[in-house]
Structure 1
Amino acid sequence: MGTGVGASAVERNRLWTRLSTAVAQHDGPLATPTMVVDLDAFTANAADLCRRAAGTPIRVASKSLRVPALISRALAHPGFAGVLGYTLAEALWLDGEGISDDIVLAYPTVDRAALAQLVVSPSAAAHITLMVDSVEHLEVIDSVRSSRAVPVRVAIDLDAGLDLRVTRVGPRRSPVTSAAAAVALAEAVVSRPGFRLVGVMTYEGQVAGVADDVPGQRLKSAVVRRLKDRSIEQLLSRRADVAAALRNLTELEFWNAGGSGSIESSASDPIVTEVTAGSGLLVPGLFDHYRSFTPRPAAFFGLPVTRRPDARTATVHGGGLIASGPTESSRAPLPWAPAGLSLTGLEGAGEVQTPLTGPAAENLRIGDLVWFRHAKSGELFEHTATAHLLAGSSLIDSVPTYRGCGLAF
């Protein structure tokens, strides 16, 4: 079964031995926390994503990796093509480093300094597609250029939330919620000198990013699955309507959709030409409870035991790597290996120390490593300059994260 959410205590304890032995045998320096990526799991996850995509190309979500070597590794896997970036500065860097020459921004940008770089570089402008959802975004781009000689590629962010009439369910992204609104914005793009409309994006976060098979939450999970089914049905119609309306204006290069949790439904839509995945390569804690795939965690961080305040408690150094999103327990890191450890209700995961209780705590000694999983994917690597790559039972390489490259996007 592996080391995912359904892994037995025996399997998680074997993982603990494997990770801790690999670190102990490593000759180079190791920071705290020690970040390790299991390449065997990473490669297996990439293959599984491609299986689920059933031939639809997968764009790599860089926000969910933030390690250049891992982005390159994913792009080298058959079935993956292009990057979905999260800032223009990042996109310019990835292009300049030769990591990708096909980068779509997932979010609109008002970074005038980065835009000023883009509009004077024919090469970068040909490789990077900006996201827009209003005419104001076009005006920001125009405000930084004195000439429209370099055409700027743009895509429209079409809202993919579930419309329940009284409210919308999903990420609060784009004001473009209908075919009429999409056509109005598309007309503004194609009629404006210096712009090329090349794509549409629909990110159905309420399908891709919400767990739907959570233990102890049977009723809630059933409701989530029903909302997902309704979202998928509604999106089929919305995408078809918008695609038909845009066909008279321009020929699109791509239609991007989905995320790691919605690969199958997104790829099955004939309008969609590519899907996106990132978290599915590393499988953080929030991706444990999906019916669509079996989790195979690939990213871990190790913290040393520095205190034994009593026989039933082991305290590790640091640990407060809390994920973004609503303030709730699901955003806390998971003590994963060895099995049988829990955060305490009083201290939780702390900035300087994290006490752990449970049966396994009694057997831990000063200096032992406890391995955690972050709740989200790329955020883990904002906390370190180096990621160590594990193959089999050995650390085979140490590679810089964005932070290790001196970057903060």
Structure 2
Amino acid sequence: MCYNISEAELVVSTEDNVFKDVLIAYPFTKPEDVKTAFRLASQHLRDPQLPELTITVMVDCMTHLYKLSIAWHKEAEKMIHSLKTSQKKLKESYNSLKLRVCIDYDMSLCYLYNYVHLGVHRSPIYNTKKFSELVAALDDFPNLILTSVMGYEAQISGVPLNNPFTKWMNPIMKIFQRISKRDVLRKRREMKEVIRKYGYNLEFVNGGGTGSFLWTLQDPNVSEVSVGSGFLQSHIFDWFHDNESKCALTFTIECTRKPKKGTITCQSGGFIASGNICKDKAPSVFLPPKLKPYDAEGFGEVQTPLSGSDANRIDIGDYIFLRPAKAGEIAERFNEYVCIRNNTIQFTAPTYRGLGYCFF
């Protein structure tokens, strides 16, 4: 799964050709992006020596279908016109090449025609009627083919029930998630009936998220789950009651000052995670454990003061290990991962930043 077409292009171009089947999780309609998607999807037709790629793009409205269909048709026409008359079979292959689409079904809890919306604001497809209408509309776009559905239950997978910074909300969220889980299961059952009605044979139905993937795996209407930060167990996922993973990612900041007894000041540190602004989006101290940030300063862009009993045994030049709240944004601030096993560095792996890429 990739964020956008530029990331997908990088992923499928690796020397060992490991990734050949890519889902682009967020919609795009710009002609130049569709051009890239067409080039990747058709590269095996141009050169049989190149690997055959499976590129699937996200849609959730008629505008997506319309713009994608027009841009895809234009790319196919340009390619067909560039071929020789004798290349009739190849022209037919390009003409029959379809853009694979995945419908993003909003799993948020919605009432009163979506005026009450409990969850993230992603897709306008928030009920079975709207889903059915979009599936039916695909008949009007012969160069598009529905291959899959994604339903990300963010209000379950991304909201912990043991958050120490919002203790008063935890029991409320527990009730809300219980209701929402029933609603998500209903939506997926009805989605399956719609797919059966229109005669589609889906390749996959995607769901989940780090905070709910164990629950999602039990749903027979889901064929795969997505886990992002969970692979590295950033600290926000410690507060999910059914998460048994251990910390697998830290970063360090250097102690450069000791302004007073019981306090050290480190360079940098203000790597805040995305989402609503709250203390749970800040990093947390991992080692040494008896250190914490000052409420008045927090984790800063250029410096982070920390206080606690462990501060007195830290010398200037020592490093403090921190955990990020989420695992995505932190990779944009460092050039590589240092991979360690049994206290020994095994290898390093570049981040996208280390490779010189920035996807936004």
User: C-alpha separation between the residues in 2 aligned to 1:117 and 1:331?
Assistant: 35
Q: State the Cα distance separating 1:209 from its structure 2 match.
A: 0.5
Higher relative contact order (CA 8 A, sep 6+): 1
Q: Structure 1, residues 169-202: CA drift from partner, whole Å, max 9, x if none? A: 1111111112221121112224312111001110
| Residue aligning to 2:11 | 94
Counterparts of 2:32 and 2:138, CA distance in 1: 22
Deviation digits for residues 125-161 of structure 1 (CA, Å, limit 9, x no counterpart): 9512101000111222234341373311001001100
Aligned-partner Cα distance in 2 for 1:299–1:185:
41
- Unaligned runs of 5+ residues in structure 1 are 1-83
What's the CA shift for 1:216? 7.0
- Which stretch shows the higher mean deviation, 361-370 or 106-115? 106-115
Q: What is the match of residue 324 of structure 1?
A: 274
Question: 1:96 corresponds to which letter in structure 2?
Answer: S
Map of 1:160 onto structure 2:
107
The one-letter amino acid paired with 2:143 is G
Secondary structure in 2 matching 1:119: helix
Structure-1 residue corresponding to 2:63: 136
Instruction: Answer whether contact 2:237 2:243 (CA < 8 A) is retained.
Output: no
Spell out structure 1 runs of 4+ moving beyond 3 A: 120-126, 215-219
| Secondary structure of 1:186's aligned partner | helix
384 and 218 in structure 1: CA distance in 2 versus 1, 3 angstrom threshold: closer
Q: Does residue 307 of the first structure (1) align with residue 267 of the second (2)?
A: no
Count of aligned pairs: 326
- 1:294-317 alpha-carbon deviations (Å, 9 max, x no partner): 241111101111111112111111
After superposition, where does 1:2-401 map in structure 2 within 5 Å? 84-97=1-14, 98-123=17-42, 126-145=53-72, 146=74, 147=76, 149=95, 150-165=97-112, 167-215=116-164, 217-249=166-198, 250-401=200-351
Deviations 1:65-102 (A, max 9, x none): xxxxxxxxxxxxxxxxxxx2111111121112224112
- Please give the alpha-carbon distance, in whole angstroms, between the structure 1 residues aligned to 2:336 and 2:165: 37
For residues 288 and 264 of structure 1, what CA distance do their matches in structure 2 show? 15
* AA at the equivalent of 1:347: E
**Which has the larger Rg?**
2
Q: TM-score, normalised by structure 1?
A: 0.76
Give the secondary structure class of the aligned counterpart of 1:233: helix
Q: Is the 8 A contact 1:108 1:132 kept in 2?
A: yes
- Provide the rounded CA distance (Å) in 1 between the counterparts of 2:98 and 2:13: 19
- Give, in angstroms, the shift of residue 231 of structure 1: 1.1
Percent of pairs identical after alignment?
32
Instruction: Pick closer, same or farther for the CA change 1:334–1:111 going to 2, 3 Å.
Output: farther
Question: How far did residue 164 of structure 1 move?
Answer: 4.1
Partners of 1:248 and 1:387 in 2: how far apart? 48
Query: In structure 1, what residue type is equivalent to 2:5?
Result: L
Aligned partners of 1:266 and 1:272 also within 8 Å = yes
Offset of residue 240 of structure 1? 0.9
Q: CA deviation at 1:219?
A: 4.3
Shift of 1:264: 2.3
Q: What do the CA deviations read for 1:318-340 (whole angstroms, capped 9, x no partner)? A: 11111111122111111211011
1:120 CA displacement:
3.2
Q: Counterparts of 2:259 and 2:164 in 1: how far apart (Å)?
A: 32
After superposition, give the CA deviation of every residue in 1:235-280 in whole Å (9 maximum; x if it has no partner). Answer: 1111111210121221111111111111122111111111111211
TM-score (norm 2): 0.86
Q: Which of residues 336, 346, 355 in structure 2 aligns to 1:405?
A: 355
Letter in 2 for 1:119: F
